[in-house]
Amino acid sequence: MINLVYNEMVKITGKRRLVVVTLIIAILISLFTYAQFQQAAENRKRFGDVDWRTALEQRIAGWESRLANGSGRGDEGELEMRIAQQRYYLDRNINPSEPGAPTFVRGFVENGITLLLPLMMMIVAADLVSSEHSSGTIKVLLTRSVRRWRILLSKYLALMLSVSIIITLFGVLSTVISGLVFGFQGWDAPVLTGFTVTGGELDTSGVRSLPQWQFILMELGLAWFVSLVVATITFMLSVLVRTTAAVMGIMLACLIAGTILREMVESWETAKYLFMVNLELIDYLQDADPPIAGMSLGFSLLVLLVWGIGALIVSFVSFTRRDVY
Amino acid sequence: MTGLAKMADQEEITLSVQGLRKVIGKREIIKGLDFELKRGEVFGFLGPNGAGKTTTIRMLVGLIKPTAGTIRICGYDLHRQFPEATGSMGCIVENPELYTYLSGWGNLQYFARMMPGINEDRMDEVVRLVGLSTRIHDKVKTYSLGMRQRLGIAQALLGRPKLLILDEPTNGLDPSGIREMREFIRYLAEHEGLTVLVSSHLLSEIQLMCDRVAIISKGSVIRVDTVDNLLSQQEKVSWRLTPLAKGELLLRELAGSAEVKGDKVLTPYNELEIGRWNQALVESGVTVTEMSRRLPSLEDLFLELTGGESID
């Protein structure tokens, strides 16, 4: 089996998939680092070198004025929650955005989990099986003295390995690149997690303080899980659909539909069982307000797990039974 | 291989197919095939496009699951003992599709990792056997079709198979490539003792390369026989005569049947009678300017057996 997985890795690297993904991630990180650096410089120019407390107070004041003049447009609840949360930080004298590489990584993983990371997984997973069909190599692969389920399992294990490599690269690259600009301090800065809502009020009874590095590891863990599920679903499509372009198209449509649906789902409750609505796992750690009532971290993990297992079962059943023409 | 050794080996059956059927939807594509292949023979699988050749071959190599029937390779049931059965078989289905972004050597390494007991020496050996030594470390995408075909064969031979299944092995090759491939297949059968199953719609190819042929049409085997047997039944003599009409009439009386084809007359071949016919012709004033034995092509044979169904 190790040999088979090794073979699959040879193919993934032979097609330069990991190199492409690494390059895309590196370029994007450099871009965002530069953008944030510019923004920080701009802020300093406009407001002077202010203390973080003053900056945070200004931000809260801004939200409050938006709330007061009614320009929140239906987001009043969320705004109120955010204000309460930031006040909580302020009261405990904790800077929620301590400058430095760790803060950048934290924000970047948080933003990347819904679209960027799933897209990277797609690049690797989309042609894992379908390319064997379109290039005809499926015929040499399936006429070896190896049973089909072992072939597919080796492909899936190689995919898991690639997902892990990409997540690690993502963490390491964003740390290194942003660290070169912002410095590497702030690993121990506290991050508060565990806010809940009870009866429209922010409940801080379950709030715990975590050092930032631990929080980032949690984030990366969740990102790994989300990526693996998206990769598994892409893998299933790659088994079912024989052209890579179609796999990419379907998956892209799902992911984009997910980002749109998340904005609209409040009125469509059953949408919470769709995998693409449940990708924002990290939000549960920080934000209190779920997109649909009844969604929680546990719920989303479960939904994703069920989708992942379902996709795997479909892949294996289809791959081992299908006639190859 | 000496005659004696060949006779002893003929007992060994490397591929046996019994009652093989395939139904797709409501259409029966393959309607019950039975045949057996013996060690060291080249077996031709001949039929027009759409006769079910490719479907059958794909069932033999495990790509398509038969609806009914058994396939045994070297005694192993293909369905129940898949790893053992495919381990004794090497194949190229249609074009030799390989990983073009790897080198030839990289491809062989890849395949070697999927079979037990293949080391670098064996890889070197097959590379030398197919004559790819000089280019083996180049990327496959730079290979010509002929070279890909050779690499495909190298890959098929890597696991020391007893049975080699080649689907249209000469497809797309130039004439010298076709000739080389033919000689190579004969070499494998005669000197390495491999059983080779070759499918083709090119009758001339099968005729030159195979010991036995199965003729398949519309999903059934119409006939299995040695190439020699099939041909000798159809052997004819062609005569060039002046005057033609008179000669034809005379030959029809003598040989029982005669037909005019162009400026020649065709009659059945009869070794004992043919001299007498010639004499009779000359005596009645017909000049015989040419007289030749004509081996029919399998094409003629095929048309006769299938009742005029076209080849392509």
| Chain A residues closer than 8 Å to B113 by CB | 3-4, 6-7
pLDDT for the residue numbered B311: 46
Cβ distance B83 to A7 less than 8 Å, yes or no, reads no
pLDDT for the residue numbered B7: 47
Cβ distance B97 to A10 less than 8 Å, yes or no, reads no
pLDDT for the residue numbered B53: 85
Tens digits of per-residue pLDDT, A55-91? 778 888 888 888 777 665 556 666 777 777 777 777 7
Give B118 to chain A, closest Cα distance, Å: 13
Residue A140 clears pLDDT 50, i.e. is over it: yes
Give B68 to chain A, closest Cα distance, Å: 14
Tens digits of per-residue pLDDT, A287-316? 656 666 677 788 889 999 999 999 999 999
Cβ distance B113 to A321 less than 8 Å, yes or no, reads no
Question: pTM for the whole thing?
Answer: 0.82
Stretch (H or E) spanning A85: helix A76-91
Profile chain B (312 residues) by mean pLDDT over runs of 10 residues.
46 84 86 86 84 86 87 86 86 84 89 86 87 86 85 88 86 82 88 87 81 85 82 76 82 79 80 83 85 72 65 45
Please name the residue ranges forming H helices in chain B: 3-9, 53-60, 82-87, 104-112, 120-129, 145-157, 175-191, 203-209, 227-232, 244-255, 274-283, 298-306
* pLDDT band, very low/low/confident/very high, at A98 (cuts 50, 70, 90): low
pLDDT for the residue numbered A168: 92
- Restricting to A residues 294-323, those with a Cβ less than 8 Å away from any Cβ of B are 321, 323
Task: Give Cα separations from B24 to A11, B19, B68, B285 (angstroms).
Answer: 34, 16, 12, 64
Each domain of chain A, given as residue ranges in start order, spans 2-34+98-321, 51-96
Give the separation between CA A135 and CA B100, rounded to whole angstroms: 9
Cβ pairs bridging A and B (under 8 Å): 74
| Chain A residues closer than 8 Å to B114 by CB | 3-4, 7, 144-146
Give the separation between CA B93 and CA B65, rounded to whole angstroms: 16
pLDDT for the residue numbered B19: 87
Cβ distance B102 to A14 less than 8 Å, yes or no, reads yes
Q: What is the ipTM of this complex?
A: 0.76
Locate the chain A residue with the closest alpha carbon to B64. A323
- Restricting to B residues 59-88, those with a Cβ less than 8 Å away from any Cβ of A are 61-65, 82-87
pLDDT for the residue numbered A71: 60
Give the separation between CA A18 and CA A13, rounded to whole angstroms: 6
pLDDT for the residue numbered A307: 94
- Restricting to A residues 133-192, those with a Cβ less than 8 Å away from any Cβ of B are 135-137, 139-140, 142-147
Residue A260 clears pLDDT 70, i.e. is over it: yes
Residue B177 has a CB neighbour count (10 Å cut-off) of 17
pLDDT for the residue numbered B3: 45
**What one-character-per-residue DSSP string does B30-96 give?**
EEEEEEEEETT-EEEEE--TTSSHHHHHHHHTTSS--SEEEEEETTEETTTTHHHHHHTEEEE-SS-
| Chain B residues closer than 8 Å to A153 by CB | none
